[in-house]
Structure 1
Amino acid sequence: MAPSAVNKKDDGPSQDFDLEKTADEAKSLLEKIIKDVGEKSATRQLIFGSASGWLTGFVMMKLGKAAAFTLGSGIIALQLANSSGYVKINWDKLTRGVEKIAEKVEDSTADKKKGLMNKVGRYVDQKLDKAEDILRKKEKKAKRWFNRISRDEDEFVFEEIHVFLTCYAIGLVLGISCGIVVR
């Protein structure tokens, strides 16, 4: 008896994944979290910043170690299988295939280099024109910004969020160092 085809009914319009919308939502959520954290007391910011930074660094190091172990184990296992005779690698064919692919990539990129350089040039020109227009329109803001950066006019103004950011950076470094040391 042949299996019958299953007909699926559409429950509604298909929802496509919109990367731009998701990025905007993530950005607004992150800004809201940072704003909320910036309004908390310095002690809470210190604790939250240090803990979240340490956790981020520790997890990052553990995932990195796991990925390196997996990749290295795979390479060693393939080499052991090759030397034991379970797998036979035709090195000449592999080399020829890699050379053909390299030639194709080189040919395709050589044609695109000129177009890419033109695109980059146009993009940079557009951005420079836009920056020039902004500076002309808002010269006062630009001067204030420049003076703030060069510290001619204003000195650094300490804000509450700086406690969190500093503690996060310190916690991140500590988490990475603990991830290296802890096995």
Structure 2
Amino acid sequence: MSATWSKSRKNIENKEIEKMADDASKFLGGILGDISNKSAYTQIGIGAASGWLTGFTTMKVGKLAAFAIGGTIILVEIAHHEGFISIDWAKVNKKLDKVSDKVETAVTGQSPSWIDKAERFVDKKLERAERKTRKWYSKLIGDENGPRVNDLHLFITAFIGGAAIGVACA
């Protein structure tokens, strides 16, 4: 019975979230309208303002998250120092190292050196990022032959610049 109630409660919450997202979309659509029909100056202004707001908000939320995580770590350390809890950090680190070595050995069949691990990790991440960026860019501009400046480029450039300024201001 409680599982059914829980599922129906989740469905209600999901519907409420969807309604709020639709309302927000309609609100922003009413304010901004179709940006591509506006002048380049307006697009740059909207892009820069929304980018600044995004960057500023991201920095404030990031600082809050860092404060919360750092505060928790400090509280755990204080509790450990005062004797409320006992943490064997050597044991924790040893277990983490063993788990990561087991995973690496299971995947490759041998235990590589740390240099090999770092090199493979960076290579995979860079290759994956490059593929995703190329795919994203070709979808964004709608042309796989090469870059051409269009209205979206103005907005995106201004958005990125505004985000950088917002991050710097925060």
Q: TM range, normalised to the smaller chain?
A: 0.5 to 0.7
Gaps of 5+ in 2: 12-24, 110-119, 125-130, 132-142
Q: How many equivalent pairs are there?
A: 120
Q: Are 1:69 and 2:67 an aligned pair? A: yes
Partner of 2:90: 95
Deviation at 1:48, TM superposition (A): 1.1
Gaps of 5+ in 1: 16-28, 121-126, 128-140, 150-156
Give RMSD over aligned pairs.
3.9
Deviation at 1:7, TM superposition (A): 8.4
CA distance 1:48–1:7, shift in 2 (3 Å): closer
Match for 2:80 among 58, 79, 82?
82
Deviation at 1:73, TM superposition (A): 0.8
CA distance 1:51–1:6, shift in 2 (3 Å): closer
Q: Are 1:173 and 2:140 an aligned pair? A: no
- What is the percent sequence identity of the aligned residues? 29
Instruction: For 2:95 and 2:85, locate their aligned partners in 1 and report how far apart those are by CA, in whole Å.
Output: 23
The answer as to whether partners of 1:37 and 1:161 remain within 8 angstroms in 2 is no
More helix by share: 2
Other structure's SS at 1:59 match: helix
Q: Are 1:160 and 2:151 an aligned pair? A: yes
Partner AA of 1:107 in structure 2: K
CA distance 1:6–1:160, shift in 2 (3 Å): closer
Partner AA of 1:104 in structure 2: V
The answer as to whether partners of 1:53 and 1:168 remain within 8 angstroms in 2 is yes
The TM-score, its normalising length taken from structure 1, stands at: 0.51
